[in-house]
């Protein structure tokens, strides 16, 4: 008999450490049955737009994401069907031609800045986390990451942060904290919170109602 997979949502601002929290939980169940879906993979396809238009896009607004596709794919995984997960290309600000085939698993982690914003996604989650890290720490991490890994300049990161990322964080990301079951301070460094989550997931896995 199959049990319904457990869905865990991990939200938090850019640079909050939510990916680290999600990866730490993932690591603990790696030998079992867990998969991770990043909301970033579901940024809307912009291949039809010019590079200039893509650069100007607000990537911190809920409408930047193709949540319909994300929802459809999570529902498939919940029915133990495989999905073709999109791959996002940060350098070109659009979806790449590749897809990754993802097999269903018992535990699904959904991670992203606005993963708790869409009620339809929230309704599928068994546990909702919000990783809460001070804005000064988040901007330092973001600067380092975007320059080292996403090919951005110092000026462009600062400009994007002050004009878009910060206001969108305050308007859309921060308010989703109210939907969280657990607020995790300082993300991936918080061993106690991660251990508590792992214990809780194990308990749900043992208790989960059989379909």
Residues contributing to the site for ligand C5P (CB under 6 A): 14-15, 40, 43, 59-60, 90, 93, 113, 165
State the nearest-atom distance from the C-beta of 31 to ligand C5P, in Å.
26
Q: How far is the CB of 42 from ligand C5P (least distance, A)?
A: 11
Q: What is the residue whose two structure tokens read 């909050």?
A: 16
CB of 160 to ligand C5P, least distance (A): 6
Annotation-wise, does 14 bind a ligand? Answer: yes
13 has binding-site annotation: yes
- Which residue, 2 or 163, is less far from ligand C5P as judged by CB? 163
Residue 188, marked binder: no
Angle between helices 191-207 and 18-29 in degrees, nearest 10: 50
Tell me phi and psi for residue 85, to 5 degrees. -75, 130
Distance CA 40, CA 113 (A): 9
Nearer to ligand C5P, 29 or 161 (CB): 161
What does the alpha-carbon distance between residue 98 and residue 11 come to, in Å, rounded to a whole number?
26
Q: Specify the DSSP element, H or E, that contains 8.
A: strand 6-12
Residue 143 CB: number of other CB atoms within 10 A? 16
Rg (CA), the chain: 17
What is the spatial distance between Cα 11 and Cα 211, in angstroms, rounded to a whole number? Answer: 28
Taking the complex as a whole, how short is the minimal distance between the CB of residue 5 and ligand C5P, in angstroms? 23
- Give whole-number Cα distances, 206 to 37, 65, 107, 200, in Å: 23, 34, 12, 10
Q: Was 12 annotated as part of a binding site?
A: yes
Nearer to ligand C5P, 42 or 43 (CB): 43
Nearest residue (beta carbon) to ligand C5P? 14
Two structure tokens written together for 140: 């330092």
Residue appearing with tokens 């600062």: 158
19 is in an annotated binding site: yes
User: Of 33 and 58, which has the nearer Cβ to ligand C5P?
Assistant: 58
Does the annotation flag 187 for ligand binding? no
Nearer to ligand C5P, 85 or 93 (CB): 93
CB of 202 to ligand C5P, least distance (A): 27
Binding residues for ATP, by number, are: 12-19
Binding residues, by number, are: 12-19
């Amino acid at each position: 008999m199959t049990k319904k997979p457990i869905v865990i949502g991990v939200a938090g601002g850019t640079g909050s450490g939510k990916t680290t929290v999600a990866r730490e939980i993932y690591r603990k169940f790696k030998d079992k049955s867990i998969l991770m879906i990043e909301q970033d993979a579901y940024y809307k396809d912009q291949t039809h737009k010019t590079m200039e238009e893509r650069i100007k896009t607000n990537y911190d607004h809920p409408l930047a994401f193709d949540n319909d596709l994300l929802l459809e794919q999570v529902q498939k995984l919940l029915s133990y069907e495989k999905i073709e997960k999109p791959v996002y290309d940060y350098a070109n600000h659009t979806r790449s031609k590749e897809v990754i085939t993802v097999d269903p698993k018992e535990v699904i982690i959904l991670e992203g800045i606005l993963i708790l914003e869409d009620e339809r996604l929230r309704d599928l989650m068994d546990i909702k986390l919000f990783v809460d890290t001070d804005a000064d720490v988040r901007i330092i991490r973001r600067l380092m990451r975007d320059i080292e890994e996403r090919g951005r300049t110092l000026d462009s990161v600062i400009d994007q942060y002050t004009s878009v990322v910060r206001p969108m964080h305050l308007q859309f990301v921060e308010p989703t904290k109210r939907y969280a079951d657990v607020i995790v301070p300082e993300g991936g460094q918080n061993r106690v919170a991660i251990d508590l989550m792992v214990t809780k997931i194990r308990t749900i896995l043992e208790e989960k109602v059989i379909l």
